[in-house]
Structure 1
Amino acid sequence: MLTTLMQALSLHLAVCTIFIRLYKTLKIVISLYHDDKLDVPVPAGDRKVVEDNHESFLRHMSNDLHTTGALDELMKPVRAMNNNLSDLKKLQQKLEQQQKKEPEKKQQQQKKKQPEEKQQEHYVQALVALHGEVTNKLSILGLMPSSPLAEVVKQLKEKALKRAGMSEEELQQVIEQRSAARKKEFAESDRMRAELSARGIALMDEPAGTLWKPSEPAELVEEP
């Protein structure tokens, strides 16, 4: 019974992670894409991730509708989205620094597409392709919500906060305290992160700041 419960919880958290990543990816793509037609192809590595996932999905579904295996495989394009988002943020920060250092050069070359901007388009194309693959497979499995992704993510986070016995404001205070501790009190920072993890709150440190997502509470992990 406990094993079945743990499997169901793990499946729920996997889908939760996918929805949060989809929402984040969608916001990035919308902010950069603007429905413009990009004249660059999807990078070969990301295209292979999409093709491999499609093949593995068909294989799992042909195996007595093995949806758990299909969802496990779906985490690969989700991780690819995560990597692309991270690299894209680093590139954007680099471009912003260059623009601050060379404003005159930017004005002179504003009509000429730079290599970095071309690279940014590759990231956007990769995110579009990966996002499409994941949402397509979730739709086939009947797991795509009827509500907008933003609303779904909000509901998932509300459930996680209720389970953790915290309000959004209380969690944000802890995150700010930990951010301060990270600068000089590493042990305390790790302790605070572990405490939140035990309550089902996973922290993600990113260049723009610390984000959080629902996770499996440490105390619910089944002993080997």
Structure 2
Amino acid sequence: MAHLHCLPPSVEPRVSEHMPQIIDMIKQIIDSGCAYSIDGDVYFSVDKFSKYGRLSGRKLEDNRAGERVAVDSRKKNPADFALWKSAKEGEPFWGSPWGPGRPGWHIECSAMSATYLGYSFDIHGGGMDLIFPHHENEIAQSCTACENSNVSYWIHNGFVTIDSEKMSKSLGNFFTIRQVVDLYHPLALRLFLIGTHYRSPINYSDVQLEKASDRVFYVYQTLHDCEVLLSLHNNVNRKDSIPPDVKSCINKFNDEVLVSMLDDLHTPVALSALSEPLKIINDLLHTRKGKKQELRIESLAALEKTIKNLLFILGLMPTSYSEVLQQLREKALKRAKLTEDQVLQKIEERTTARMNKEYEKSDAVRKDLAAVGIALMDSPGGTSWRPAVPLAMQEQQVVAV
């Protein structure tokens, strides 16, 4: 997860280490009159909590009991859920006022979040499939244990799908992060993931990862080139002002990023805002007109700073552009099943063919490399290569960045 630039959690609690807190919360719920004990089991009485269903929007009469598991006839209402389950043979158990047993699935989350965050906190996350019944039951438990309990924002992420089918172990259509980052850079995977709004499903495919990888390379190569040029002007007294068009671009960029992130963390829109400032940087770096523009160095410095701020916010800011660019090249070579020496040999073969005016042969070398995701770039200084989307994938849907 560190390779994906995910911040580590402050606490990773274990249920087995929080039995006293779980039992105390169940006692509080019973004392509130919203739970009852039968033969060593404790059930939450959903009829006693008038706001049950407020998160999912479901009504009790719409729930059909007995479709997934057999209904316990001892319950006062088929929708009542377990807070404590009496010990079963072969299962772990702990002592409690209701006899030996173990916690229900939902109560452990309420008890541990209350222990570390209090009864009222800002954000509670989880998958869409947890809205009902898990999070609905958490709300009921926490609110009856403490009337001031509150979660300000519920963040529910969409599923990862393959060919529009949910990725899951039971279907056997899943990949681990380790498997993916063996072939693709972790920051390419991160960009791919935040290129879709977190509440929407993400359709996993090699095509999308190839395009995310290509985009990441473009972003970091642009910023690397900019960084190199700016390092050559460290001793130049830069003016505070920048041209109106560059200032307008930066202001528009900042506004778009702010509005999109305030709109339920709409990261795809924030990422798409990168296109214009990156284009201007490349124009200033490489075009004849850009190189002659007034306040060129000041513009590049301001644009680079602006882009870096967003990359930092989105967890896409690397410690070194050159290091990540090299890693992206290595991943591309691995996907292409080539070594860099083999690519350089192909470049040499193409150069010889062009010198001999064997243009069909030189074109074939370029196409063969492009087919496996290696793009050749000619310049007055010679031919170099960079990772690219394999030819067969280039016509397919583009990642929104």
Global fold match (TM > 0.5): yes
Candidates 306, 322, 329, aligned match of 1:150: 322
Equivalent residue number for residue 161 of structure 1: 333
Equivalent residue number for residue 39 of structure 1: 239
Equivalent residue number for residue 113 of structure 1: none
**Structure 1 range deviating more: 204-213 or 46-55:** 204-213
**CA separation of 1:60 and 1:187: change in aligned 2, threshold 3 A:** farther
**CA separation of 1:159 and 1:187: change in aligned 2, threshold 3 A:** same
Q: After superposition, what is the alpha-carbon deviation per residue over 1:167-204, rounded to whole angstroms, capped at 9, x for unaligned?
A: 22222232344345556455444433332222112233
Candidates 178, 188, 208, aligned match of 2:350: 178
TM-superposed CA distance for 1:121, in Å, is 6.4
Counterpart amino acid of residue 169 in structure 1: D
2:271 is paired with a residue of what secondary structure? helix
Please show how residues 62-77 of structure 1 align to structure 2 within 5 Å.
Answer: 62-77=262-277
Unaligned runs of 5+ in 1: 92-118
Aligned: 1:83 with 2:256: no
**CA separation of 1:49 and 1:204: change in aligned 2, threshold 3 A:** farther
TM-superposed CA distance for 1:69, in Å, is 2.6
**CA separation of 1:123 and 1:216: change in aligned 2, threshold 3 A:** same
The CA distance in 2 between the partners of 1:34 and 1:178, in whole Å, is 40
**CA separation of 1:84 and 1:167: change in aligned 2, threshold 3 A:** same
The CA distance in 1 between the partners of 2:249 and 2:387, in whole Å, is 26
TM-superposed CA distance for 1:89, in Å, is 9.9
1:203 is paired with a residue of what secondary structure? strand
Native 8 Å contact 1:40 1:121 kept in 2: no
Candidates 129, 148, 153, aligned match of 2:302: 129
Question: Higher relative contact order at CA 8 Å, sep ≥6: structure 1 or structure 2?
Answer: 1
Counterpart amino acid of residue 334 in structure 2: K
Please show how residues 9-28 of structure 1 align to structure 2 within 5 Å.
Answer: 9-28=210-229
Native 8 Å contact 1:197 1:215 kept in 2: yes
Candidates 252, 264, 270, aligned match of 1:52: 252
**CA separation of 1:46 and 1:181: change in aligned 2, threshold 3 A:** farther
**Structure 1 range deviating more: 151-160 or 54-63:** 54-63
Equivalent residue number for residue 194 of structure 1: 367
Counterpart amino acid of residue 132 in structure 1: K
The CA distance in 1 between the partners of 2:294 and 2:383, in whole Å, is 26
The CA distance in 2 between the partners of 1:69 and 1:41, in whole Å, is 28
TM-superposed CA distance for 1:86, in Å, is 0.9
TM-superposed CA distance for 1:50, in Å, is 2.0
Counting matched residue pairs gives: 195
TM-score after normalising by structure 1: 0.72
- Structure 1 stretches of 4+ with a deviation exceeding 6 A read none
Q: Which structure would you say has the larger Rg?
A: 2
**CA separation of 1:199 and 1:61: change in aligned 2, threshold 3 A:** same
Counterpart amino acid of residue 24 in structure 1: D
Native 8 Å contact 2:243 2:294 kept in 1: no
Counterpart amino acid of residue 350 in structure 2: R
Q: After superposition, what is the alpha-carbon deviation per residue over 1:44-73, rounded to whole angstroms, capped at 9, x for unaligned?
A: 333332222222222322332222232222
TM-superposed CA distance for 1:222, in Å, is 6.6
Q: After superposition, what is the alpha-carbon deviation per residue over 1:102-129, rounded to whole angstroms, capped at 9, x for unaligned?
A: xxxxxxxxxxxxxxxxx47622222212
The CA distance in 1 between the partners of 2:350 and 2:237, in whole Å, is 42
**Structure 1 range deviating more: 125-134 or 167-176:** 167-176
Equivalent residue number for residue 212 of structure 1: 385
**Structure 1 range deviating more: 69-78 or 4-13:** 4-13
The CA distance in 1 between the partners of 2:225 and 2:313, in whole Å, is 21
Native 8 Å contact 2:222 2:278 kept in 1: yes
